[in-house]
Copies of this chain bind each other. A is one copy, B any other.
Amino acid sequence: MDATTRIERALAASIAWAGGLDCPPLLAKAVRHAVFPKGSRVRPRLCLAVASACGASNPAIVDGAAVAIELLHCASLVHDDLPCFDDAQTRRGRPSVHAAFGEPLAVLAGDALIVLAFETVARTAASAPAAMAGLLLTVGRAGGMPYGIAAGQAWECEPAVDLAHYHRAKTGALFIAAAAAGAIAAGADADPWRDFGDRLGQAYQVADDIRDAAGSPEDIGKPIHQDAVHGRPSAVTRLGVFGAVSWLEQLVAEAAAAIPACHGAGDLRCLIASEAKRLLPKELSLRAA
């Protein structure tokens, strides 16, 4: 089974477990709307790729870790789109959750997704207690405070922003967690993988800045020029489009160099090179990886 199919199935199983007959029907629909149809799934694919590179033998634990990361990501998108933040009416080319279901259900869908992320780890890793504790702390660190996505978003509310903290928490945290969780789910040491995840997270943030500045709404499935509208820090504002592309290339090369010795290192290097190409607007080419 390819990684994409595997992730979609694992996400569907997790949501079916929580959103069954006893669930308020609109909440179940809002949660499904937040998670399907698929986004890029770049974080859970990273988790699976690292687990595979580390020789993982228990697919249920790996899937649970990947699902937890993606559910946290989906939760953050739902809450980021709320009127009090970006007030985005569309996401992935369709109405955002609050546009489709109203603000109350969007708040609750985000909350329920955060809870479900942890429940999924607790259910799928029950047979491997050491991995379970490590995965929970890794997922928690990526989601909450002081270093996770809630903290990342909260830096936008501060009068003075520490840019490094901001980016690492808002975007980097889930990439670091995805790489670390893949290693933990495979029974490997997570520490050498965090630097790899960190570079990839930075690369993804730069690619996102480039798409916001130089992509089209059809291409990226959401409104463009949001960084300028909301006065957010952006690699394009700082370096220009081509400077940003060049920085992206460097970060991808650094990520490739940061891959620890493991039996699947070669495959992983190929994967991140092709991912990096996919993330850029079609008109911009990427030379290296």
User: Assembly of this chain: how many copies?
Assistant: 2
Tell me, rounded to whole Å, the shortest Cβ–Cβ distance linking A162 to chain B. 9
B110 touches A154 (CB 8 A): no
Whether the Cβ atoms of B150 and A112 lie closer than 8 Å is: yes
Residues of B within 8 A of A122 (CB): 133, 136-137, 140
A19 contacts B by Cβ under 8 Å: yes
Number of interface residues of A (CB under 8 A): 59
CB of A232, distance to nearest CB on chain B (Å):
14
Q: Which of B103, B151, B157 is the one whose CB lies under 8 Å from A23?
A: B151
Complex interface: stretch among A48-56, A79-87, A194-202, A246-254 = A79-87
Q: Does A114 contact B (CB under 8 A)?
A: yes
A112 contact set on B, CB distance < 8 A: 144-145, 148, 150-151, 154
27 A–B contacts, CB within 8 A, in A order: A22-B146, A24-B145, A24-B146, A24-B151, A24-B155, A26-B154, A26-B158, A27-B151, A27-B157, A101-B157, A104-B153, A111-B114, A111-B144, A112-B151, A114-B114, A115-B144, A115-B148, A116-B140, A116-B145, A118-B140, A119-B136, A119-B137, A119-B141, A121-B136, A123-B137, A129-B133, A136-B136
A residues in contact (CB < 8 Å) with B:
18-28, 31, 75, 79, 82, 84-85, 101-105, 107-108, 110-112, 114-116, 118-119, 121-123, 126, 129-130, 132-133, 136-137, 140-141, 143-148, 150-151, 153-158, 165
